Amino acid sequence: MQFGLTVTSVLTLIAMCVPGYLLIRSKLLKEEAIAILSAVLLYVNQPAFSFYSFQSQPYSRAILGNILTVAAISILIHLIVLFASFFIFRCDRNKFRGRAYAFASGFGNIGFMGLPVIRMLMPDNPEVVIYLAPTIAFFAAFPLFIFNVAVPQAVLFPIKYLSDMIVPMAMLILGMRFGATDMRGLFSDWGLYVSSFIKLIITPLLAYLMMKLARLDQTVFTTVFILMAMPAANMGLIIAEKFGGDREASAKAVLGSSLISIITIPLVLLML
């Protein structure tokens, strides 16, 4: 994949973060707005994105096979990385902090970063989004896809508009998270560097080797590889907030790895 295209795409995504950052720093929006917009992205934009992607492609056995292949490879990679990460971070005296960084090492930010990056880097290949389908919309869209049932255009048009919002909305929210965070202590924890190295370097390299051995379809190969190069998932921070984990370590893992990924994503994708 062309280095210039990747850098341009990443810089474009960063530019979309700026309004969110300024809205929080200028106090035009309160920090509580992050949770509200995140809910809109999770429960409206992502389902619309998945549903519209299935409707954009006719059924074929090849695509169905690719969906199953992506699922199998992703599960295997996650299990390997998670097992290794929990083993590495078990030495941390603070078990909650260790678990936060282990989680961050294993799970990538597919919804907030992966989908937008895929959309930017592979705009002429909409079928790749079918392989992701991260929401409950999958259960509504997949049967229609299997039986080649087309939704009326009058219904599909508003779904498409909601789908198109996913990239700017995700980046706006990420910018707001940066605006609400004290950046001075962000890189003060050794766990951030270890978990980011595992997530941003080791994981995509492992995925690359496994998929090379499996001789996968190039579209599937590229899609999975890009996703495995994404920074830590926001879900770790959400879980820490809701169930009493180490919120500080989770926030550092998410935001720190997101900043580091600005450099690593273009470099790692040179392998494609």
DSSP string, 115-140: HHHHHHH-TT-GGGGGGT--STHHHH
Distance, in Å, from the CA atom of 107 to the CA atom of 100, rounded to the nearest integer, reads: 11
Q: What is the pTM of this model?
A: 0.80
What pLDDT is recorded for position 157? 93
What pLDDT is recorded for position 136? 63
What pLDDT is recorded for position 222? 87
What pLDDT is recorded for position 27? 94
The SS3 assignment for 26 reads: coil
The three-point CA angle 45-101-222 to 5° equals: 50
Let me know: does 229 contact 200? Beta carbons within 8 Å: yes
**Paired tokens of 109:** 């930010």
**Paired tokens of 157:** 């048009």
Q: Give the pLDDT of the chain (272 residues) as one tens digit per residue.
A: 667 778 888 888 889 999 999 999 999 999 889 888 888 887 888 888 888 888 887 888 888 888 788 888 888 998 999 999 999 998 877 888 888 899 999 988 876 677 777 777 776 665 565 555 555 677 778 888 888 888 899 999 999 999 889 888 888 988 898 898 877 778 888 889 999 999 999 999 999 998 888 787 888 888 889 889 999 987 787 777 667 778 788 888 988 998 899 899 989 988 87
What pLDDT is recorded for position 128? 61
The SS3 assignment for 54 reads: helix
Question: Position 170: which residue type?
Answer: A
H/E element, 102: helix 95-106
Let me know: does 254 contact 233? Beta carbons within 8 Å: yes
CA-based radius of gyration for the chain: 18
